[in-house]
C-alpha cells in the first residue's frame, strides 16, 4: 500500500513538472484563440488574392502551425499574409521544424516586434478562414509585375508538414484554382489540419 502511494505521489510530481515546463515555454508566445478572417469578415472589393481554407487544430505540442506568404518568381520574399503567433514570435528557435521554409524565406529574426505583430495571430479554432493579399510588399508599397507565387506551409506534427504552392497571374479576369497539397510524410495521419484550399484572384 505504501509503495503504491509513493508511486502515485511521484507520478503527480512528474505531471506538475511537465505542465509547468509546458506553460513556461508556451506562455511567452501568448497561445490562444485569435481567428483569421471568417466568412462574416470577407473582403469583397478591390484588387486582391483571396485564399480560403478549412482548419482543424491538432491537439499535439509540436503541431498546428501555418503560414501564408508571397514570393516573386525568383523566390524572393514579398510579404506574409498570416502566420501563427507561436512560430512568428520565436517558436522557430525552440523548434526548428516549425515552418522551416517560411523562416528561411521571411527571416523573422530580422523583423521588429511591430512587423511580427502585423502578420501574426494566435492559433485559431476549428473552422473556415480567409487570408488576403492586396498586392503590396511587407512595407505596404504596391508591387510591380503580373506574376507572383503564393506559398502555404503547415507544420502538422514535428517533421510532418504540408505545402501548397501556385502561381498568381494578375490580369484583368477573375480566376480560381484548387492547389494540391504536398506532404512530407505521405502517410500522415494529420492531413485534415489544412484542407479545402481555394485560391481566387479578383482584379477589382
Please report the pLDDT score of residue 19 as a whole number.
Answer: 39
Residues 75 and 20 occupy one common structural domain: no
19 and 81 share a domain? no
Per-residue confidence (pLDDT) for residue 26, from 0 to 100: 35
Does residue 176 share a domain with residue 144?
Answer: yes
Task: List, as one string, the DSSP characters of the chain.
Answer: -HHHHHHHHHHHHHHHHHHHHHHHHHGGGT-S----B-GGG---SSSEEEEEEEE----STT--EEEEEEE-TTS-EEEEEEEEHHIIIIIHHH-TTSSHHHHHHH-GGGS-HHHHHHHEEPPP-SEEEEEEE-SB-TTSPBPPSSEEEEEEEEEEETTEEEEEEEEEE--SS-EEE-PPPEESSTT-S-TTSEEEEEEEEE--
Q: Are residues 19 and 68 in the same domain?
A: no
pLDDT at 2: 52
**Number of domains within the chain:** 2
**132 and 52 both lie in a single domain:** yes
Output the pLDDT for position 13: 43
Instruction: Examine the domain organization and report whether 45 and 13 are in the same domain.
Output: no
* Host domain of residue 130: 33-202
Do 10 and 84 lie in one domain? The reply is no
pLDDT, residue 1, reads: 58
Q: Block means of pLDDT (10 residues each) for the chain, length 204 residues?
A: 51 44 35 55 87 93 93 96 95 95 97 94 92 94 96 96 97 97 96 97 94
pTM for this prediction? 0.80
Task: Indicate if 20 and 111 belong to the same structural domain.
Answer: no
Q: What is the pLDDT of residue 41?
A: 74
Residues 11 and 88 in one domain: no
**Statement to judge: residues 57 and 129 lie in one domain:** yes
Q: Is there a single domain that holds both residue 2 and residue 86?
A: no
Amino acid at each position: 500500500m505504501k509503495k503504491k502511494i509513493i508511486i502515485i505521489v511521484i507520478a503527480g510530481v512528474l505531471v506538475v513538472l511537465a505542465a509547468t515546463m509546458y506553460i513556461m515555454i508556451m506562455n511567452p508566445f501568448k497561445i490562444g484563440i485569435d481567428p483569421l478572417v471568417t466568412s462574416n469578415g470577407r473582403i469583397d472589393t478591390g484588387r486582391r488574392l483571396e485564399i480560403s481554407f478549412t482548419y482543424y487544430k491538432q491537439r499535439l505540442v509540436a503541431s498546428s502551425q501555418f503560414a501564408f506568404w508571397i514570393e516573386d518568381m525568383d523566390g524572393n520574399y514579398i510579404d506574409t499574409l498570416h502566420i501563427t503567433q507561436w512560430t512568428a514570435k520565436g517558436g522557430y528557435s525552440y523548434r526548428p521544424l516549425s515552418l522551416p521554409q517560411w523562416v528561411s524565406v521571411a527571416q523573422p529574426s530580422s523583423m521588429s516586434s511591430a512587423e511580427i505583430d502585423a502578420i501574426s495571430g494566435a492559433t485559431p479554432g476549428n473552422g473556415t478562414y480567409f487570408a488576403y493579399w492586396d498586392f503590396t510588399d511587407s512595407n505596404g508599397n504596391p508591387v510591380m509585375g503580373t506574376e507572383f507565387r503564393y506559398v502555404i506551409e503547415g507544420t502538422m506534427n514535428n517533421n510532418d508538414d504540408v505545402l501548397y504552392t501556385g502561381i498568381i497571374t494578375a490580369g484583368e479576369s477573375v480566376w480560381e484554382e484548387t492547389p494540391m497539397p504536398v506532404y512530407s510524410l505521405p502517410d500522415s495521419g494529420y492531413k485534415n489540419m489544412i484542407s479545402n484550399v481555394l485560391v481566387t484572384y479578383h482584379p477589382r
